[in-house]
Chains A and B, each alone.
Chain A
Amino acid sequence: MAFRKRNIPLSRAGEAPQDPSSSPTPTTPQSISGTRPSPIDGRLTTSTGTPSLDNILAGHAGLALGTSLFIGESGTTDYAGILLRFYAAEGVVQGHKVHVVGLGEWWGRDLPGLAGSKGEEKRREAGERMKIAWRYEGLGEFGSRGSPAPNRATAQAKAGDAEEPAAFCHIFDLAKRLELPVQSVINYITVPATAKDSPFVSVLQNLQRQIACSPPNSIHRLLIPGLLSPATYPLTAAQPQYVLQFLHALRALLRQYPTRLAAMFTLPLTLYPRSTGLVRWMEILSDGVLELSPFPNDRRLSTSGAATQEEERPQGMFAVHKLPIYHEKGGGGGAEWLGEDLAFTVSRRKFMIAKFSLPPVEGDTEAQQGGAQESHGGVNMPSKAELDF
């Protein structure tokens, strides 16, 4: 045991009696851009494009390849869509193959661009910080919620701060547009509007073909924005035999390419509530389950999450229901913050997930002062008998 190199994925070392065509070609972790071995078990991970989301994935410090993330969002907002955009943009920047199901090219043209000078500055700044191997940095770094970007950048500082390709996770700016290098980087998979057959079969076939045709060490990212949303999918798609069979097959496909494919999809929870059996089955068939509950658009409510006035107000609560690998094993080790209340804050440059805490009631200062004065003047002072216990 002790003689094994830690950074070689142990799980893939043996030969499973799988279909020979399906067995993934073992690749050296370092050779592929945008991937790195997990500090926990050495399996390859890739970045979600959102540093604070990478951090909460049970210590793997990234989304493990071969797994999927299921993000549900209630309400009419599309914060989960921002996560998907970052995920796609990160893939484009890293030269991964990005597959988008159901949406057209306009979606790809809208991807956020790389944050420019500020990000560079941060990176340089971080390079001067103490150089810690990223694997230690990645362990339990969730507490450092204030500065996810420098943290992330120290990872590459190890390899030398001048090396741009070593970056695992980039910072994107929602106000900018990503320039797509080649048009064929993003594969748009359309969902056929058939009423009789499963609309997902052609999606799966497309995906299988694309992966089979690509070079053996290419990384694929699958995105399904708004799964089952009536805007994209025919009504019949929500029937369990269609969508659940699709997710089952997708799970099989992910397991078939444990070092090459990762998926992320979002579901409108208002249309498909979590309390139904269908959605629960979708969650069971996914590896990670996250839920975004945006605050209603109310100034009073949305201020409540920020500890101070300077801090940005969170836009909603972020719940973690299941984590890839971690929960499959039974849960244990590496996710200390799992029970915490989490909130997310979206700004131009980041989607940040941090602990949620209620601040002192800020609007109530007058009343507090008034109360203090009154007590000082002894006007409504409670009698001593009332105070005596």
Chain B
Amino acid sequence: MPPESRIPPLLQPYTRLPKHPSLFLLTGTLGATANWLIIRFLCDVLATKNGSRAAENDKAGDEVGEGGTAVVLVSWIREYEFWRNEARKGAGLDLQRLGNEKRVAFVDGLSRMYMPEVGKQSITQNTVLTTPQTQNMVTARTPARMTPWTPPAPLMSTSEAKSDNKGYFFLHTPDLKAFEETVMSATAYLESSSRPPKSILLILDAPDTLLATEPGITPSALASTILQLHAKMLHAIVHVSADDALLSLSMPPQPLEISGHNFLVGMAHGSKRVISCRVLDTGVAKDVSGVLRITGGAGGGFSELFGEDEERVEARELLYLVKGDGSVKVFERGAGEG
């Protein structure tokens, strides 16, 4: 099935990645996650076998897609199995095969992040950083704090990852340095392909989990890590929760809320396009899963630098429906079925 039919026509201009470096922000809420949207981005990037963008992606005609864009998917709260199933159902992609072909690398931030070691009775457990980190750069932080939990080799070495699991990496600690290194080794894995990708898309699913679960991490440190990684890749997509409870501070405000809020606002300012999913304001409808709001973020200033303005998007609001079989329908208000 051609990718065009997997991505609803109204959505296509927004899932298409621009030529220039870009940072996209996807936000979701408890009742309306943007997971399906990430799948659509994956579909757009990875399923371009005979797509119309073949020519611009790659000069070498029939090897389209091989030298195109590769993806590093980092997920902190969703497991690989979920993404694999959704990609298969929603986009017709086989992540397993793509992983073997070095077009997709998955970084698992769920399975081993906070899982205590069985057997080793915890003499030294997770002690909390009581002193909040100042606006230091990421490198200032030491990963030593969490090491008692981790296996002898705290970070999966690149060679080990390559030999054992094709394109599958683990995050063992919430530490940002480790995160950066793991993503870099995932990138190295992708670039070790016989046809190195022209560009790499970095998808971060719920990086705000780090802020919530580890108060020692400041929003600015996380944001700067993401920007550093983005500087090495061409594109980045960040999926963050934007529930009301997380954004509007309770009285007295919890540090958790403040950091989440700061991070989200900072990312929104820095990103070129903001796509937010939320539930229907008027209640639950059978034929609408949620509302999609697309706005051009402030971070689009680069396109002017490049002298092109074609990628600027108009602010727009659409409705979407995720069907049971994984397909998605996107439509204007009032244009739903029936």
Binding site for B on A (CB under 8 A): 10-11, 14, 16-19, 22, 40, 196-198, 201-202, 204-205, 208-209, 212, 239-241, 244-246, 248-249, 251-253, 255-256, 258, 273-281, 283-285, 289, 321-322, 327-334, 336, 338-339
CA distance A258 to B277 in the complex (A): 28
Q: Which chain B residue lies CB-closest to A331?
A: B289
What is the distance, in angstroms, from A283's C-beta to the closest C-beta of chain B?
A: 6
- A275, A277, A280, A289: most-surrounded residue (chain B CB, <10 A): A277
**By the criterion CB–CB under 8 Å, are A331 and B257 in contact?**
no
**By the criterion CB–CB under 8 Å, are B115 and A284 in contact?**
no
Q: Which chain B residues numbered 255 to 287 have a C-beta less than 8 Å away from chain A? A: 255-257, 260, 277, 283-286
Q: Collect the chain A residues with CB atoms within 8 Å of residue B127's CB.
A: 196-197
28 pairs of residues in contact across A and B, judged by CB atoms under 8 Å: A16-B84, A17-B99, A197-B126, A198-B125, A204-B115, A204-B116, A240-B213, A244-B212, A244-B213, A245-B114, A256-B111, A277-B245, A277-B250, A277-B256, A279-B245, A281-B246, A284-B77, A289-B30, A328-B82, A329-B35, A330-B35, A330-B36, A332-B321, A332-B323, A333-B324, A336-B286, A339-B283, A339-B284
**By the criterion CB–CB under 8 Å, are A241 and B322 in contact?**
no
**By the criterion CB–CB under 8 Å, are B213 and A332 in contact?**
no
Q: Count residues of chain B with CB under 8 A from any CB of chain A.
A: 72
Q: Collect the chain B residues with CB atoms within 8 Å of residue A253's CB.
A: 115
Q: Given the interface contacts A277-B257, A280-B246, does A331 sit within 8 Å of B116 by beta carbon? A: no
Q: Which chain A residue lies CB-closest to B250?
A: A276
**Chain A, interface SS category:** helix
Among the listed A251, A274, A333, A336, which residue makes an inter-chain contact with B245, where contact means beta carbons less than 8 Å apart?
A274
B86 within 8 Å of A by Cβ? yes
CA distance A256 to B216 in the complex (A): 27
Binding site for A on B (CB under 8 A): 30-36, 77-82, 84-86, 96, 99, 110-118, 121-122, 125-128, 164-168, 206, 209, 212-216, 241, 243-246, 248, 250, 254-257, 260, 277, 283-286, 289-290, 320-326, 328
**By the criterion CB–CB under 8 Å, are A321 and B245 in contact?**
no
CA distance A279 to B246 in the complex (A): 9
Among the listed B86, B96, B212, B215, which residue makes an inter-chain contact with A329, where contact means beta carbons less than 8 Å apart?
B86
Q: Given the interface contacts A273-B250, A277-B257, A322-B31, does A331 sit within 8 Å of B290 by beta carbon? A: yes
